[in-house]
Chain A
């Protein structure tokens, strides 16, 4: 279970223009994980994925998949991977079914498998329509279907929820969760953490080609400090009272943010405010969203 399916060591890459894109990236994706590879546009996600898929091979460092060097065992490794890189490469003059059958032919799979997958991605009813009549969402689902066709052990998906509506995003999440339950390791990139945080088990945050964080999503959540928020009948006066007591409170929407305070401290503040005849409507703790933390990490990596 803990074997690394993908492992890179000090992976660095620069395009022929000389501009470095990846800096000493050391990724570790465990078997059975759903690994979210998160970064803003231009962070180097797609370049890293292209290296993993042997589409770019002038890199420095080590890249291994299934325990083997990807340069040495390229075909064996690719036969165990399904992928969707950038937009799906679909033949628009063919129907969805013809696209799937063509890929099944290349992968030496029977048509029954093509049937199964086209149902799985919800395109069975539209299978005889030409792809140029498909919506963006349908094309994306077909692209995911092509990646799934060979029942790969590792699925690499680059921004798989691009162009999908909220319902489509939910369906993709469910599909990926189901695949992971069946043992497929999933490596998916996204620039929107909130889209993937619900399903990923592990996360890697890349910014300007550098890996700023990597580990279980739970450990990232732990880094999001719990803060207390207060709402009273007169927040302005409340701030004045707290300042007199040497306590800091900042406005956060309709509430006051008291920072990381303990329960005893909160209880004392509550008693103080009630004693000053203020009505305390709410005193609650909340963690930062991962999205907030992601922006903090990418804007100032020392936040970690």
Chain B
């Protein structure tokens, strides 16, 4: 266990100046900044609507977040954490350290997992701050009159659980393929397929459709934290982690 924590710390050290780490910080700030600006400069329009501004804000964010931003971010993180080793040709160095192979693989996976969690939490936190700042700066919109942030936070958690399947597939593809084109190209194609086919009866079995379907659940206020697509996403995560570990062992043997 101690070796796992050391390997995880090492992943954080290695992530300095990487795309994944930078994106985790600036992308939520960029999204929250834009949504804040939209409400700030169009406050009169939103005030006239007389609706729950938290709900309007979340709908604005989730539309793009579910279809593109979150799946793409998961792809970037999965790619970037593996690419660090591919570019340095450092896998073999890692596997000659006195570490169990599982600790090496698990630490890398856990690091990427934590980045996506951090991304979700930061964006969720910034949305909360933006709403509260608007409650003070633009009270006419009415953020202070509604208490629906809990629902939004719940859906951030659902999105996070739902994107785990995409992340796990992308992590495996990026571990196996050294280049950018194949894992990210395949991921992009599958994301588009997920968005188009999300309404299909069996789309809950397709992890790339999960976040789009969760967004629909938000519109319909279906609060269940573990709907079918989330369960499939989590089962896929477990299965793909084990397959990935098998690849680690196979990499040693071939």
In contact, A94 and B14 (Cβ under 8 angstroms): yes
- The answer to whether B48 has its CB under 8 Å from any CB of chain A is no
In contact, B92 and A79 (Cβ under 8 angstroms): no
Q: A56-B253, A58-B253 are in contact. Are A105 and B95 (CB under 8 A)?
A: no
Contact of A106 among B89, B97, B253 (CB under 8 A): B97
Contact of B96 among A16, A83, A91 (CB under 8 A): A83
Of B2-10, B144-152, B155-163, B195-203, the segment with at least 4 beta carbons within 8 Å of chain A is B2-10
Q: A94-B14, A106-B10 are in contact. Are A89 and B88 (CB under 8 A)?
A: yes
- The answer to whether A85 has its CB under 8 Å from any CB of chain B is yes
- The answer to whether B181 has its CB under 8 Å from any CB of chain A is no
Residue-wise interface mask of B (218-254) relative to A, using a CB-CB cutoff of 8 A (1 in contact, 0 not):
0000000000000000000000000000000000111
In contact, A106 and B99 (Cβ under 8 angstroms): yes
Q: A90-B88, A91-B88, A93-B18 are in contact. Are A55 and B96 (CB under 8 A)?
A: yes
Q: A15-B254, A54-B96, A55-B96 are in contact. Are A105 and B14 (CB under 8 A)?
A: no
- The answer to whether B110 has its CB under 8 Å from any CB of chain A is no
Residue-wise interface mask of B (70-85) relative to A, using a CB-CB cutoff of 8 A (1 in contact, 0 not):
0000000000000011
In contact, A89 and B100 (Cβ under 8 angstroms): no
- The answer to whether B90 has its CB under 8 Å from any CB of chain A is yes
- How far apart are B1's CB and chain A's nearest CB, in angstroms? 14
Complex CA distance for A237 and B140, rounded to whole angstroms? 116
In contact, A56 and B252 (Cβ under 8 angstroms): yes
**Chain A interface: which size bin?**
20 to 34
Chain B binding site: helix, strand, loop or mixed by DSSP?
helix
- The answer to whether A255 has its CB under 8 Å from any CB of chain B is no
Q: Give the nearest-CB partner of B9 in chain A.
A: A105
Q: Which residues of chain B are within 8 angstroms of A15 by Cβ–Cβ distance?
A: 254
Q: Which residues of chain B are within 8 angstroms of A90 by Cβ–Cβ distance?
A: 88, 90
In contact, A94 and B96 (Cβ under 8 angstroms): no
In contact, B17 and A94 (Cβ under 8 angstroms): yes
In contact, B100 and A75 (Cβ under 8 angstroms): yes
In contact, B253 and A78 (Cβ under 8 angstroms): no
In contact, B96 and A85 (Cβ under 8 angstroms): yes
Complex CA distance for A58 and B251, rounded to whole angstroms? 11
Q: Which residues of chain A are within 8 angstroms of B17 by Cβ–Cβ distance?
A: 93-94
- The answer to whether B87 has its CB under 8 Å from any CB of chain A is yes
- The answer to whether A247 has its CB under 8 Å from any CB of chain B is no
Complex CA distance for A75 and B95, rounded to whole angstroms? 10
Chain A binding site: helix, strand, loop or mixed by DSSP?
loop
In contact, A92 and B87 (Cβ under 8 angstroms): yes
In contact, A105 and B6 (Cβ under 8 angstroms): yes
Complex CA distance for A94 and B16, rounded to whole angstroms? 7
In contact, B88 and A75 (Cβ under 8 angstroms): no
Complex CA distance for A76 and B97, rounded to whole angstroms? 10
Q: A93-B16, A98-B13, A102-B10 are in contact. Are A86 and B89 (CB under 8 A)?
A: yes
Q: Which residues of chain B are within 8 angstroms of A56 by Cβ–Cβ distance?
A: 252-254
Contact of A53 among B84, B89, B96 (CB under 8 A): B96
- The answer to whether A69 has its CB under 8 Å from any CB of chain B is no
- The answer to whether A176 has its CB under 8 Å from any CB of chain B is no
In contact, A89 and B90 (Cβ under 8 angstroms): yes
Contact of B88 among A81, A92, A105, A106 (CB under 8 A): A92
- How far apart are B108's CB and chain A's nearest CB, in angstroms? 13
Contact of A91 among B14, B100, B253 (CB under 8 A): B14
Complex CA distance for A101 and B98, rounded to whole angstroms? 17
Q: Which residues of chain A are within 8 angstroms of B10 by Cβ–Cβ distance?
A: 102, 105-106
Complex CA distance for A94 and B91, rounded to whole angstroms? 17
Interface residues of B (CB under 8 A from A): 6-7, 9-10, 13-14, 16-18, 84-85, 87-100, 252-254
Interface residues of A (CB under 8 A from B): 15-16, 50, 53-58, 75-76, 78-79, 81, 83, 85-94, 98, 101-102, 105-108, 146
A-B contact pairs, 8 of them (CB 8 A): A53-B96, A75-B100, A89-B90, A89-B91, A91-B88, A98-B13, A105-B6, A105-B13
> When A and B form their complex, which 9 residue pairs have the shortest distance between CB atoms, in order from nearest?
A89-B90, A89-B93, A79-B98, A78-B98, A53-B96, A58-B253, A75-B98, A16-B254, A102-B13
Question: Beyond A57-B253, A92-B88: 5 further Cβ-contacts under 8 Å?
Answer: A83-B96, A85-B92, A89-B94, A94-B13, A108-B6
